[in-house]
């Protein structure tokens, strides 16, 4: 009976729960879903990999190191290329073929979260100024979409990058070819404080709920994504239009985001 009501009148179904300060999946309004993380699933194909289960949302990410030539504007820096894949496998709204504007926009934002935070200094990827540098290719693939793609992707990406080991190279003088120096152990990629994002949705123009799942995302046109690190420095605050949010509600979200950043940073560092 509840299922039929939910499928026909999803908004009214949700409104009845929100009145009692709960959600249909049993969470409170400000509660995030549990996040479980496992690393090294794609070893040895990928240089670093991670799988994130965020409620029902499932993301796999893999990182590969390649050699490349630095750009002319930044000859002392390497680069990080992030590719986000959303296929019809995870959700029927994505059609095969070139990415839609929504897909490009989401992929771009995930890259911006990392670059904005400045947590990775690209100078450490440079091998020979202007000639050779490391290029980190990250591929993130969504296996199941149950809302809050950005936060889950971010955790997967950071876990991969924090575990990436970079070999030391010797460049052969005669042939000018790079070779891996097996004597020196691999060094870790240096990352500063992790930027952790938390997404909130404004429901019914008045109530703010944390970590919306797929149904909740379809009911609202207004989400706020706050990216913070454990020190409380905001690395990004994006609200994509839709119903407005009051400043006191925003302050509550900021607090929750900082707590969530502490939880997730601990989770990533523990493994």
Partner 1 sequence: MDNGEVDINDEVSETLVPHICCEFQVLSKTDGSASFFQGSTSVLCGIHGPTEVKQSKQQNDKSAIEISANFNTVTHSCREKMLQEIIKNTAETMIITHTYPRTGITVSLQALHNDGSSLSAFINCLTMALIDSGLSMSFLVVAVTCGIPREPDKPIILYPSLEEEKLCVSVVTLCFDSVNYDVVTSYTTGTFSILRYEQALLQSESAGRRLVAIFEFIKRRSSDNCS
Which residues lie near partner 1 (CB under 8 A)? Answer: 101-102, 104-105, 107-109, 111-112, 116-118, 221-222, 224, 232-247, 250-251, 254
- Looking at the DSSP bridge assignments, the partners of residue 35 are 54
Tell the smallest beta-carbon distance from residue 227 to partner 1 (Å): 9
Which lies closer to partner 1 via its Cβ, residue 144 or residue 204? 204
Residue 87 CA, chain-centre distance (Å), reads 17
Contacts of 258 (CB under 8 A, 6+ apart): 228, 230, 232
Tell the smallest beta-carbon distance from residue 222 to partner 1 (Å): 8
| CA dihedral sign of residues 236, 241, 246, 252 | negative
Tell the smallest beta-carbon distance from residue 167 to partner 1 (Å): 31
Instruction: Please give the Cα distance from 157 to 219 (Å, whole number).
Output: 28
Which lies closer to partner 1 via its Cβ, residue 127 or residue 234? 234
Tell the smallest beta-carbon distance from residue 51 to partner 1 (Å): 25
**Nearest Cα to 154, choosing from 185, 119, 126?**
119
Nearest 5°: phi and psi at 227? -110, 120
Tell the smallest beta-carbon distance from residue 197 to partner 1 (Å): 12
Give all strands of the β-sheet with 207-210 in edge-to-edge order. Answer: 207-210, 196-203, 223-228
What are 66's two structure tokens?
């390649």
Which lies closer to partner 1 via its Cβ, residue 7 or residue 270? 7
Residue 33 CA, chain-centre distance (Å), reads 15
Tell the smallest beta-carbon distance from residue 178 to partner 1 (Å): 29
Question: In 3-state terms, what secondary structure has residue 109?
Answer: helix
Which lies closer to partner 1 via its Cβ, residue 77 or residue 112? 112
Which lies closer to partner 1 via its Cβ, residue 35 or residue 224? 224
Count Cβ neighbours within 10 Å for each residue of 65-74 and write b for 16 or more, e otherwise: beebebeeee
Strands 178-180 and 169-171: antiparallel
Tell the smallest beta-carbon distance from residue 216 to partner 1 (Å): 17
Is 134 buried (19+), middle (13-18) or exposed (0-12) by CB count in 10 A?
Answer: buried
């Amino acid at each position: 009976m509840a299922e039929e009501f939910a499928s026909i009148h999803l908004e009214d179904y949700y409104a009845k729960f929100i009145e009692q300060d709960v959600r249909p999946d049993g969470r409170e309004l400000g509660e995030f879903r549990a996040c479980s993380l496992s690393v090294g699933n794609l070893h040895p194909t990928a240089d670093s990999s991670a799988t994130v289960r965020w409620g029902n949302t499932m993301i796999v990410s893999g990182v590969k190191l390649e050699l490349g030539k630095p750009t002319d504007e930044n000859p002392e820096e390497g680069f990080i290329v992030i590719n986000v894949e959303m296929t019809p496998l995870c959700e029927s709204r994505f059609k095969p073929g070139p990415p839609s504007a929504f897909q490009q926009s989401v992929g771009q934002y995930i890259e911006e979260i990392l670059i904005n935070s400045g947590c990775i200094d690209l100078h450490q990827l440079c091998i020979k100024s202007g000639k050779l540098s490391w290029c980190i290719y990250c591929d993130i693939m969504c296996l199941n979409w149950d809302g809050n793609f950005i936060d889950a992707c971010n955790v997967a990406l950071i876990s991969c990058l924090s575990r990436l080991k970079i070999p030391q190279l010797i460049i052969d003088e005669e042939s000018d070819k790079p070779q891996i120096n097996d004597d020196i152990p691999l060094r870790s990629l240096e990352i500063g404080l992790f930027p952790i994002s938390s997404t909130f949705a404004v429901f019914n123009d008045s109530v703010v709920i944390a970590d919306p799942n797929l149904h909740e995302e379809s009911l609202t046109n207004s989400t706020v994504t706050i990216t913070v690190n454990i020190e409380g420095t905001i690395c990004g605050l994006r609200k994509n239009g839709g119903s407005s949010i009051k400043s006191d509600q925003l302050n509550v979200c900021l607090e929750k985001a900082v707590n969530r950043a502490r939880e997730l940073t601990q989770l990533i560092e523990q493994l």
